[in-house]
Each structure stands twice: as C-alpha cells, then as structure tokens.
Amino acid sequence: MLTYSGEGRDISTKVGVKTLVQNAELSMRAKRIEGKLTMRWVKVILLSMTTVMAAHGAVTKAVFGTTPDGKTVDIYTLKSDLVEARIMTYGARIVSIKTADRNGKIADVVLGYSALDGYLADSSTYFGAVVGRYGNRIANGSFKIDGHEYHVPINNNGQSLHGGLLGFDKLVWQAHEVAGGVEMTLVSPDGDQGYPGKLTAHVRYSLLHGALRIDYSVSTDKTTVVNLTNHTYFNLAGDGAGTILGEELTLPADHYTPVTPVLIPTGELPSVEGTPFDFRKSTVIGARIHDSNEQLKIAGGYDHNWVLRGNNGEPKTAARVYDPQSGRVLTVTTTEPGVQFYSGNFLDGTKFGKAGESHVKNSGLCLETQHFPDSPNHPSFPTTLLKPGETRHSTTTFTFSTHAK
C-alpha cells in the first residue's frame, strides 16, 4: 500500500504563528496530494482486481443449508465478466448459471430449486449433479471384473441407474476454493453401493469468461469401474421459460448406441444417417422427436448416447445448442468418448422450480459427457475399468455465448 511519510511529524511549540500557518498549509497540500495518490492507487488496484476477477472468475462461499443428518451444505458462487455459476457441495451440483441473451438480458439457464430442501426431496431428476460411480445404466445391476461378479443396486426398471440408491449426487462433497473456481472431493469407501475399491474423486469447476470447465480425476485402490458425468438440465431461454423443443442442436457424431426397451445399449453402433438421430447439421430438437421411430418411442424422446468423433481422451466438440429466441449458445467440449443427449422426457411437471414454475416434460435438456452406458458389460466399448495406481482425468467445458439474429 502507498504510505505518506510527511504526516504526524512533530511541530515544535517554539515555532512562530507564520511557521504554524505555513506548516498547516503544507500539511493540507500534502494531504490533497496524498488523497490524489491514494485514489490513483485505489483505482489501479481496483482495475487490476477487476481484470483478474473477469478473467478467472471471483469466488465466494456461503451456507446453502443443512442435510437431515446435520451436514452443512455450502454453495460457491463463481463470477466472470460473462457468467455467474453457483455450485453446491450436495452432489457437487450446479445450482444456477446466469448469463445474458443477445440483448444483454440475464437469465438462469439451468433447472433446479431455490433451496436445498427441493434437492433433498427429489431423488429422480439429478438436477445439476455429478453422477457416479457410474453415470447412466448398468444392465441388471451386475458386471464382472477379473471373473468376479459384482452387484450394484437396481433402482430403475430392473437396471442400476446413476450409481445406485445413494449415488454421488446425494452425498455432501468436501470443497475448497481454487483459482477461479472450486474443487470438490469425495472418498467413496470400498464396497460403496456394491462397487469395489476405495475411490477418490476430485471434481474441479472453474470459470473463465464464458466457459465453465469441469475437470474430473479419479483413482482407486482396487480395480473397479467408474463413469462420472454432470447431469445439468439446460434451457437456454431460461429456467421456467417453456420447453427446449424449439432450440437447435448439433451433435458431431456419426453413430449412436441404440437401446433395448429398458434403455440398455444393444451393443450396436449404427449410423445416424437418415434417422432422427442425425444432428450433424444444426436441427430443431422438436422437429423429429415425435417421429414414428422405435428408439424414440422406447425412450419417450431422446435419451441416447452418441459416439463422438475423435479419440477417447482428446478434447473435441460434443454438442452445440442454439436458442433462436434468446440468441444464447451453449458449446460443449469434452475428452470423453460419448455424450448422452437426454431431452428431459421423464420430467412430469410435478416438481416445482426456483420461481415456483413446474418442470414439465422437455423443459430442460442434458448433455452428459461420458463413457457409454453399460460399458462394463460391453467389452467392445471404450473401457471404464480403473486400476490401482492409475488416475483417470477427463475434462468437459460448457461455454456460453450469443449469436445475433
């Protein structure tokens, strides 16, 4: 800090009045200069702070609530020049993402609740959550590792969905602030929900301008399977602003994984060519969702995994969503090999959102970057096996921008 050394000097009582007046004038002038200098420094400091904040996002922390078993749930607010994102420690969930439309009007573009109670009472939507240990389904809740059969909870139509009854979405994560973000950590003990190995998961959210980046890293002390993803529901027109059926989607993927009637991949990887699953060119989501197509009927809309171009582990575009109404654009990039495009088919309007609005069918869409569903039972899919001594990293980024009319 700037300090001024002239102040507080002794003035001898022996000095004359003139000297006293001169001294007083000098001291006032000095104070004015000091004031100017101090203001200049304050401005410089503020400007550099704003620049740093705008680039890396400022982070603040508050208490969001308490779980029934007495655990405090914190919420972190990440702010950049373009986006404000709130993330809580219950389920490492994205609670809100606020960003401007093409006219500068801010809206919250993710579905959720205004208070923790809403999340605690909802065991089926996974709003904003990190899901694990295994995002999406494992057939009949069983798989084999090295000839040993493991059983995990069956919680969805005879299958295991999103890690079981008490998955990572329903646990309170440990958190600490990092540059421009927050890192959440969860240690899942050996045998948790039937999965082998003590698994340590770190999920780091960081914000840079319009990009909210998620870095996952997982390690284990016994061979296990793992597939973490984020289950945020986006509606680029804003939470509560109708359905996503008018939004336009691009998925740069030539193949997808069709499913059986219980939403387990058949194992085939057919081409999207000539099907309602072809989103290689930007297409309105609602344009074909009601087509008479067996796969759409099974899922009640889109709820499938697309096979992304490029290699597993390399960054690539997973999806782009454009809302012609607001001009908001969401671009998703990932190092994962697949993306589950889920058009919110099971939202049934019974759950009420942040402003009391009901979350009707198709009121939000998920783009869950992931390894393919049921990979442990499909040796031809990219492996989800994780061995002791390995650390698996993956990164997904949600970037927000706007597009003129």
Residues labelled as active-site residues: 231, 368
Q: What is the DSSP string of 14-54?
A: TS-HHHHHHHHHHHHHHHHHHHHHHHHHHHHHHHHHHHHHH
Quick one: tokens of 89?
């420690």
Determine the 3-state secondary structure of 375 from DSSP.
helix
- CA–chain centroid gap for 204, Å, is 10
DSSP 268-294: ---B-TTSTT--SS-EEGGGSTTSS-H
133 prior amide bond cis, ω within 30:
yes
DSSP 301: S
DSSP letter for 193, please: G
* CB atoms near residue 288 (< 10 Å): 16
Beta partners for 207?
212
| Percent of the chain as helix, strand, coil, to the nearest 5 | 15, 40, 45
CA 63 – CA 353 distance, rounded (Å): 20
- In the numeric block, the tokens 């605690």 are attached to 120
Positions touching ligand BGC (CB under 6 A) are: 124-126, 136, 263, 303, 340, 342, 346, 366, 368
Nearer to ligand BGC, 208 or 307 (CB): 307
In a 13 Å sphere around the CA of 183, the CA atoms on its Cβ side amount to 10
Q: Count how many Cα atoms sit within 13 Å of the Cα of residue 345 in the half-sphere of its side chain.
A: 18
Angle at 392 between CA 391 and CA 394, to 5 degrees: 140
Buried b (16+ CB within 10 A) or exposed e, 2-12: eeeeeeeeeee
